[in-house]
Amino acid sequence: MTKKITRAEAKEKIEEMIEEEKPKEKIDIKKFKPLSVKDLTEILGLTIKKDKVNKIITFFGQLSTYTDNSQINISNNAPSSTGKSYIPLEISELFPEEDLISVGYCSPTAFFHDFGKFNKEKKIYIVDLERKILIFLDQPHNLLLQHLRPLLSHDQKEIKLKITDKSQKHGMRTKNIIIRGFPSVIFCTAGLNIDEQEATRFLLLSPETTQEKIREGILEKIKKEADREAYYKELEENTERKLLKERIIAIKEEKITQIKINPELKVKITKRFLDSLRFLKPRHQRDIGRVLAFTKIFALLNVWFRNKKESIIEVNDEDVDEAFKIWEEISESQELNLPPYIYQIYKEVIFPIYSELERGIGRNEFLSKHFEVYGRSLPDWLLIKGSSYYTPPSNSLLFLKKKKKIPH
């Protein structure tokens, strides 16, 4: 039976069709100039104070959706009110709305139903995520990520899943799902315990919680709330920000299918990456993929200033150097599968006590030191939830005596 639509709905559909058929004004790429990480940091800094590495990587993560298979997955892990959702949402304002999917709390079943289209002939749900930016906000658990593991690993561009769903009439039923494309995925959670299988598929980030950042955040909040209309008008009229938004659309319209690395740069990347490691681990196979992704995304950001043939561009030395600078900023915590927030607590609170006492650390000693360093109490729930992270390695004293450095 055909569903009837109202006159208003029909008029709206016709207007949408007319709007789609209108020829789009082509963006003049001559107005763009080569963009460095420093330039990008300043533009993003208009709304995101401090957090240099986090905002650059989050921007790269979202821009990576316009690559063929170099999409970056990011997990923002930090307690509430630290800005873990704010950063990706602010950056997403720069991207075309049609490419964004923001999800609040969502169960795996609901996700596939809400974003999938049912194919009656094949009796399957098709979820098309090709060149989409998928942002999960304040997720309490990682169950949905477990269902998306093959997608996050970029195993295949089309993945078949089976999920169980409960209905009143038929009880538990199996449903077939097909997921197409590689989106860039950003997962925001206050849950600090991460399954290793998810941890290796994501870059683990945590917003800064320094006094300077909090102070600047307060000043920015006052400026915004004092006159929101003037605040957003000034923001939208900012020339560099407007150019960045146009640049993103122009990059999308280039429809780049491949970003190549020449043999000379392959040798350079290989040597630089291997020289930075003491021992090779299975996870390094994914880590080098991230370095390569950073390299390609920086080249994509400057697509008109790279060797280009049709829909294929080639990275240069600058792209490699910028990629390694970013990776070196975060590699230590990634190597340990730790959110930077937890690793910072270990370096600034736990290790100083442990190196002084050379014994186990009591709860009150830990809480007192935390308050001394950060000027705020650690919530009981966070202490309990993150306790597995706060235990010093059994060999840390050995490292302390022999290496005189923070144990890994």
pLDDT digits (tens, 9 = 90+) for 211-224: 888 899 899 889 98
Three-state SS across 304-317? HHCCEECCEEECCH
Single-letter code of the amino acid located at 155: D
Residues 182 and 65: their CA atoms lie apart, in Å, by 8
- 260 lies in some domain: no
Lowest mean pLDDT across 110-114, 236-240, 290-294, 333-337: 110-114
Residues 330 and 345: their CA atoms lie apart, in Å, by 15
Q: Which of the listed residues 196, 212, 228 is the one where a domain comes to its end? A: 212
Q: Are 208 and 355 within one domain?
A: no
In 3-state terms, what secondary structure has residue 118? strand
Ramachandran class of 4: left when φ > 0, alpha when ψ lies in -120 to 50, beta otherwise: beta
Contact 27, 246 (CB under 8 A): yes
Ramachandran class of 111: left when φ > 0, alpha when ψ lies in -120 to 50, beta otherwise: alpha
Q: Are 205 and 354 within one domain?
A: no
Residues 19 and 23: their CA atoms lie apart, in Å, by 9
CATH number for position 42:
3.40.50.300
- 218 lies in some domain: no
Domain total of the chain: 2
Segment 217-232 shows an average pLDDT of: 90
pLDDT, greater one: 86 or 151 = 86
- 333 lies in some domain: no
Lowest mean pLDDT across 99-113, 272-286, 310-324: 99-113
pLDDT at 375: 78
- 249 lies in some domain: no
What is the domain extent for residue 37?
28-212
- 314 lies in some domain: no
- 134 lies in some domain: yes
In 3-state terms, what secondary structure has residue 119? strand
- 328 lies in some domain: no
| Length of the chain counted residue by residue | 408
pLDDT digits (tens, 9 = 90+) for 284-340: 888 898 999 999 999 999 999 999 998 999 999 999 999 999 999 988 888 888 888
Give yes or no for residue 402 having a pLDDT over 60.
no
Closest CA to 343 of 335, 137, 87: 335
Q: Which of the listed residues 145, 179, 212 is the one where a domain comes to its end? A: 212
- 235 lies in some domain: no
pLDDT at 406: 45
pLDDT digits (tens, 9 = 90+) for 259-271: 999 999 999 999 9
Give yes or no for residue 225 having a pLDDT over 50.
yes
Segment 235-252 shows an average pLDDT of: 93
Q: Which of the listed residues 192, 212, 232 is the one where a domain comes to its end? A: 212
312-314 β-sheet, strand order? 258-260, 312-314, 308-309
